[in-house]
Structure 1
Amino acid sequence: MLLSARRVNAPRAVIGGLGVVVCAMGAVAASHVLDPRTPTLLVTQPVAAGQLITAADLQAVPVAAGNGIDVIPAAQISTVVGRPAALPLTAGALLNSADVGPAVFPPAGQAVAAVGLKAGMYPLHLAAGDRVQVVLPAQPGVLPAPTPAPTAASAASAAQAQPLVATVTAVGRPDTQGVMVANLLMDADGAARVAAASTSMSGVAVTLLPAGDS
């Protein structure tokens, strides 16, 4: 009786073992279907436009494919390292094909102004990618004039008085006197005004704008 029971149970054990293997293989296949993420290149530190991209500037992170997102797979890192950044790259951003190649920065009609910001004239932790409003120093000894009748000249002056909004593209380290140099991307006229005001003793100030503000 015992021998016949063993003869009956042995095939069942084999079939049961095969079932476990099949289930395990199915679980592995399902994991690939349910988790269709692809290692993708992420920027780990700021890279200026025109600067050569290094392996230390990149990191592989899993990202779900599709959704129309233009990303570069981590397997293609050799096609990126050693090439220039076409645009300023911000830490934490996914790298895409438009970011790599000959520099196309700044865009037409815009310019980058380098500004020395004194301590207390900029927010702490100011970083590339921040949107800021630029506050120009008042001209000493100049009092506000009475409001004249609207003219073409006054309209131009009013346009110049509009708040200057810029995007921070790079920041340096504060020197021993607390002055930090920041690169600000804005329209060309505004950049010229900021560059001229940077020589003022009172200096230029920037305030951080809320996310999504223009």
Structure 2
Amino acid sequence: MSTATSARPTARRTPPEARTIVDAPGTRRRRSVPRLLGGALLVVLGAVAFGVVGLRVDPGIDVLAMARPVTAGTQLSDADLRVVHIVPDRALHVVRASERSAVVGRTAAVPLAAGALLTSDQLGAVTDPPPGQSLIAVGVKTGRAPSGLTPGASVLVVIVPQGAAVDSPPQAPAVVRAVDLTDSSGITVVSLQMSAESAVRIASATGDVALILQSPGR
């Protein structure tokens, strides 16, 4: 008599490399937080580095300029000065803003217009006119000069020839020293300071005088 033997099912084992690891709820979120913090930190550090580099490459400096016009011989007060940020010209001996306290109380050697950059050679004893400079008076017709012209203003003096036009009329840079009242004929006498050579050329030229207002410090 034969006996039937039932076969027991054999459990299959999954190889380790084929197993799927399932993260517990919330694990992925916890893992992403450090990454987010790290990314934010990199953004902040990048912005700071960019700002530092930007400051290093800025060639500008803070210097002193005139807040209002003053005449030669005026003792400068703090209210006469203001700070501007410029890219300096090596040929221009500007006064740094850090020297403001040392400038207050010093004397303006020449007339200074509002907005003009302050330079070291504009301070000191008054020499009128300064060495190498001359003062001349010119009669300016109505419409040949900007209105509101004041002492200390920088101008370009141009002699407009009468009759035939010329390619290069006589001209010279100058500083306004005084502006008289306009007379009944419409002529305003303006006293100008310019180089001695330019003064001779302008005074000997024939034609109408025109004054062109220039930017402060030019």
TM-score of the pair, normalised by structure 2 = 0.58
**Contact 2:65/2:81, CA 8 A, preserved across alignment:** yes
Match of 1:185 in 2: 193
Deviations 1:160-202 (A, max 9, x none): xxx99783432347379788563333659x79xx9xxxxxxxx
| Letter matched to residue 182 of structure 1 | V
Output the aligned Cα RMSD: 4.0
Q: Which has the larger radius of gyration?
A: 2
1:171 aligns with 2:193: no
Deviations 1:15-39 (A, max 9, x none): 1222122112112212212433222
Aligned length: 171
Match of 1:202 in 2: none
**Contact 1:52/1:83, CA 8 A, preserved across alignment:** yes
Deviations 1:60-87 (A, max 9, x none): 1111256454222223211112211122
Q: Distance in 2 between matches of 1:58 and 1:43?
A: 5
1:109 deviates by: 6.0
- Within 5 Å, give how 1:139-158 maps onto structure 2: none
1:96 aligns with 2:104: no
| Letter matched to residue 77 of structure 1 | R
Match of 1:82 in 2: 105
**Contact 2:144/2:211, CA 8 A, preserved across alignment:** no
Structure 2 SS opposite 1:8: helix
Could you tell me which runs of 5 or more consecutive residues in structure 2 were left unpaired when the two chains were aligned: 1-23, 160-169
RCO (CA 8 Å, sep 6+): is it higher in 1 or 2?
1
Identity of aligned residues (%): 32
**Contact 2:156/2:171, CA 8 A, preserved across alignment:** no
Match of 1:149 in 2: none
Match of 1:145 in 2: none
**Contact 1:123/1:206, CA 8 A, preserved across alignment:** no
**Contact 2:69/2:112, CA 8 A, preserved across alignment:** yes
**Contact 1:166/1:184, CA 8 A, preserved across alignment:** no
Match of 2:8 in 1: none
Pair 5,45 (structure 1): closer, same or farther in 2 beyond 3 Å: same
Tell me which of 27, 33, 37 is aligned to 1:4: 27
Which has the larger helix fraction?
A: 1
